[in-house]
Structure 1
Amino acid sequence: MSNKYFIYLVLITISLFFLALLSFLIQPRYETSLKKGELIFENIKKELNDIKEINIDNNKTKISIIKDQDIWYMSTKSGYKVKNEIVRKNLIQISELRFFEKKTQDKSLYSRLNLDYPNNQDSESKYISIIDNDKKVLVEFILGKKKENGVYIKKIKDKETWLTLGTLDMSSAEEDWLETRILNIDYKDVKKVSINHLNKKNESFSLTKDDKNENFLIDKLTKEQIPKSDLIANFIGYLFTNLTFEDVIEREGNVDNKVIIKINFKLFDGVNIFASIYNKDKDKWINIDIESQSVLKLKENEKIFVNNIENWSYKLSSKKYNVSDTKFEDLLVEN
């Protein structure tokens, strides 16, 4: 080989080396700069109080939670109230996630960790974004499978995937975020109950608490009508104790023709609670109405957990519906 060609070969080799070095120097240093144990979202802990919006999307359910004057609401559920403590718990969990083990950069393998973008109904991954008061995206990532002490995640703009140190819930079930409690009326506070079955008036009845505030007595019994047990009547007095819902929607109008039961609870302090139960598809739903002054009393005693209860319709649990469906004959000894 002539000296001329040898020199050309050396120059080409040197040029390729410098090009490779330059390429290495200018490429993103994400993978090389991260260390095991470092916080993944170190910026969020300082900005917890400035967070305005949380979004969760698994393609089957999209949840958007918005803060207004330190109270969280689910905008994708007509602005229904969300449990502040659950929001804070999840935000703190995100702020405490740490890099533990680097996983794959191969896009074809993302789905094995549920880290593929949730583009279809079969996806098990979740897209998460956290936005501040200035509409700046603070956090944006895909949440994948869980392990005993960690979760798999992938930041949206990165190819690298990670197993974290630290767990994260970020449920895609609305009921895990919503304030599902409606009322919590103590049995001892209830003075009188009336259950009115609109379709069969002979199934309707009313109950009044005895002088000792222990048992409910059936009103207007004849001599021939004998009560089965105090327990059955008393159980009705717990209808609004720890009352929760399975689902909630904005109050439906024009449901009068669907109403099957009307209920009135009168409390010893003068508060009246009115409720209407109606059919919707195969489920039983309830509308609850309380006078504004009575609502204030209930709030003072932490017995109501709903803002503007008159604006909502609730899907009842089967357990609570079965209580409200009690008929007059259910209270009596059979002839």
Structure 2
Amino acid sequence: MSSSEGSSTYAAAGVNIEKANEFVDAVKKIASQTPRTGVMGEIGGFGGLYSLKTGDYQNPVLVSSTDGVGTKLKIAFMMDKHDTVGIDLVAMCVNDVVVQGAKPLFFLDYLAMGSLDVNVGKQIVEGIAEGCRQAQCALIAGETAEMPGIYRENEYDLAGFAVGVVDNDRIIDGSEIRGGHKLVGFASSGLHSNGYSLVRKICFDTLNLKIDDYVPELGKTLGEELLTPTRIYTETLLRLLKDLPIHALAHITGGGIAENLLRVIPSACSLVLYKDSWEVPPVFKFLQDAGRVDDAEMLQTFNNGLGMVAVVPAKAAQEVVDRLAAMNEKAWIVGEVVQRRKSDKERFRWASA
């Protein structure tokens, strides 16, 4: 072994192991505040351990999903506010898990930075932990990568991974859907985490707005609107699924309302959406008018005010809406499923309610 005098070090190359260890200690404390039933051990090992209590299920099936936050992270960088994007990260994964009837069990995150900033990292993980609390699942493990040269200064990327469980005979697969089923839409909190490349083009290139500009049409600053966290629907949906006939669920993400709904209904069926049947948050009209975005583009890019849509028998639709109202959730009957006609060129159309 040669002398250490004048030798290269990992820290000099941009990776600080001491800061990484400090960050892991902080993450352990934050993760301990998320639901821990089933969790074995603590963060810091090579993998997260979770005891699956199969006795609670007749034929348990694991459901998993992975996702990121996308270019919404650019808004966090601009605002230097990092405590909500973790909620978005969890939401994008657990909402995909619960649509199949599964209860989220645990969550893992991947955080990559050019240079680890412990304070920023803690804010991010605190957001992830808050998302896990809302989803009633445990943050059991993760990975923090410090990669100088890959990411710009003060920027990072996030990815997440969620696992849930559902009894085989309780999986929601859309197989019971028939013509006449109704669509019940759940209110979104705004843009959620989709369409931000177009959002940024309209706001910053077309309108030349600054992130802290107050926008009268929105009643808040641009940054406050754009950084609003994605809604997590886990608790609400699991309560509905206990005793109401939910035959399909669609998480409205990239691709918009029609495309995501078409993923969960039989190929022999088409969709009809009722015009003006739900409240559209002001941010969507603001973006559409400012960017001169046509209706079709809006529909396939954004959630347009509906973050989740349930497909239910017609006789149960109003009860679902009423039950949601009792849980302080805004919801509307926004459309229906119809038998597909041979003459239909598209599987989706608008109609009056």
Please give the TM-score of this superposition, normalised by the length of structure 1. 0.23
Tell me which protein shows more helix as a share of its residues.
2
* Structure having greater relative contact order (Cα 8 Å, sep ≥ 6): 2
Of structures 1 and 2, the larger Rg is shown by 1
Tell me which protein shows more strand as a share of its residues.
1
